[in-house]
């Protein structure tokens, strides 16, 4: 839907000095009723409300309180009304009339946040439509189509809610020893910049035997000490972090939320319940990074490979870490639905390059990170 912005055919009416008498052929304004694209020359009568008169018939009366300005050509005042159809517009070229309306419409330049209501209605309709679509076409296809339509702000709110869940679950197991937090932040920041990500990322290492790492939409990156203990070099960990950030950048979380939450996710969307059950499902699924599609895993790997290349480092160590964690066949592990580790190692070995960039962490920083949960690795 686009705003009508072609010049009005009666542009020469601009600058008219005195208002024409009733029924005069020269109009004050052009009216779009919001239902058709027809330009209707109208007269404007200013009383308690702004009356729109066509052929001596009042076709609309807009309260000054409800008037809102919309973008238009510089010499045209283009307004709508909160109470009118969303696309209804009145275009006024006459400077005197423009001044009068400007003086009487206090909320004219208030942002059309009132259209927040329309947005919510729009979303509700989308959610209902999606439920119908899912019933008809099945979840994966709909998730694929729907993901790009989910607003980033929504994703961030779910990310923040999931982050609170994670903190509630692991809050007392955050590792903070020595220079560890700074070292981890430095590593994540290097990956972030290599990946071309503007957003600042929060970082946390958690004491847990599970060898895993994950990132949340909105910018929290978590590393579990189980993975750290098995890692032998900073490059191995950096590659895994890059992979997880790749999932965030590709919005795989959203796609998976729609897939796993299915209609309940959409009903949550419908009723605005995004901080409750949805976040719990989301946080739980996120901690068990095992539900992404193979395609999603491959593209997260591709993101990681590219980030490591930008850093002048090889992605191969990451593949080696995966094999160490899961065995070559990747069975019996939290990575079980990831592509086979051997296959991934082969891909990352193909992408192996001589190191040209600086170390991601100095030996001292790496030691600090390794011992962030204490000397024995569990605090």
Binding mask 291-310 for Zn ion (x = CB under 5 A): ------x--x----------
In 3-state terms, the chain is what percent helix, strand and coil (to 5)? 50, 15, 35
Smallest gap from residue 252 Cβ to Zn ion (A): 8
Q: How far is the CB of 65 from Zn ion (least distance, A)?
A: 52
**Tokens 């957003």 map to which residue?**
199
Give whichever of 213 and 368 is closer to Zn ion, judged by the CB atom: 213
Residue with tokens 């239902």: 35
CA angle 94, 98, 101 (to 5 degrees): 140
Measured from the CB atom, is 28 or 297 closer to Zn ion? 297
Phi, psi of 305 (to 5 degrees): -60, -45
Report, in Å, the least distance between residue 135 CB and Zn ion.
29
Residue whose structure tokens are 């079980």: 336
- Shortest distance in whole angstroms from residue 289 CB to Zn ion: 5
| DSSP annotation string for 25-93 | SS-SEEEE-SSS---EEEEEEESSEEEEEETTEEEEEEEGGGEEEE---TT-EEEEETTS-TT-EEEE-
Q: Which is nearer to Zn ion, 220 or 371 (CB)?
A: 220
Rounded Cα gap, residues 318 and 49, in angstroms: 68
Q: How far is the CB of 87 from Zn ion (least distance, A)?
A: 43
Partner residues linked to 174 by β-bridges: 206
Which C-beta is closer to Zn ion: that of 33 or that of 297?
Answer: 297
**Piece in contact with Zn ion (CB under 5 A), picked from 9-17, 155-163, 226-234, 289-297:** 289-297
Nearer to Zn ion, 86 or 339 (CB): 339
The pairs formed by 113-116 with CB atoms below 8 angstroms and a separation of 24 or more are: 114/68, 114/82, 115/86
Provide, rounded to whole angstroms, the least separation between the CB of residue 292 and Zn ion: 5
Our CB check for Zn ion shows the closer of 297 and 351 to be 297
Contact residues: Zn ion, CB under 5 A:
297, 300
């Amino acid at each position: 839907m686009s705003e009508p912005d072609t010049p009005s055919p009666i542009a020469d009416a601009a600058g008219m000095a005195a208002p024409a008498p009733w029924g005069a052929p020269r109009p004050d304004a052009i009216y779009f009723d919001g239902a058709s694209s027809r330009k209707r020359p109208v007269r404007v009568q200013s009383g308690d409300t702004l009356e729109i008169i066509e052929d001596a018939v009042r076709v609309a009366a807009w309260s000054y309180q409800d008037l809102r300005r919309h973008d238009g050509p510089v010499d045209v005042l283009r307004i709508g009304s909160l109470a009118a159809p969303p696309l209804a517009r009145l275009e006024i070229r006459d400077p005197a009339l423009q001044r009068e309306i400007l003086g009487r419409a206090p909320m004219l330049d208030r942002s059309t946040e009132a259209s927040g209501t329309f947005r919510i209605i729009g979303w509700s309709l989308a959610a209902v439509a999606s439920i119908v679509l899912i019933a008809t076409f099945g979840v994966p296809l709909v998730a694929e189509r729907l993901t790009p339509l989910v607003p980033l702000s929504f994703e961030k709110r779910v990310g923040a809610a999931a982050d609170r869940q994670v903190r509630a679950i692991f809050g007392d197991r955050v590792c903070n020893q020595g220079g560890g937090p700074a070292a981890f932040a430095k590593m994540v920041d290097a990956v972030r910049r290599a990946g071309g990500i503007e957003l600042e990322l929060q970082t946390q290492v958690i004491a847990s035997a599970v060898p895993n790492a994950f990132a949340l939409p909105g910018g929290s990156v978590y590393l579990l000490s189980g993975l750290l203990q098995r890692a032998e070099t900073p490059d191995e960990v950096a590659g895994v972090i890059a992979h997880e950030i790749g999932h965030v950048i590709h919005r795989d979380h959203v796609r998976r939320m729609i897939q796993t939450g299915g209609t309940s996710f959409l009903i949550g969307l419908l009723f605005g319940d995004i901080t409750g059950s949805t976040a719990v499902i989301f946080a739980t699924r996120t901690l068990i990074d095992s539900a992404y599609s193979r395609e999603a895993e491959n593209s997260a790997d591709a993101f990681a490979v590219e980030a490591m290349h930008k850093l002048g480092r090889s992605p191969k160590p990451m593949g080696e870490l995966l094999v160490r964690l899961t065995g070559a066949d990747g069975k019996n592990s939290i990575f079980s639905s990831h592509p086979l580790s051997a296959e991934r190692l082969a891909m990352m070995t193909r992408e192996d390059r001589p190191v040209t960039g600086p170390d991601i962490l100095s030996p001292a920083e790496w030691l600090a990170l390794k011992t962030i949960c204490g000397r024995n690795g569990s605090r």
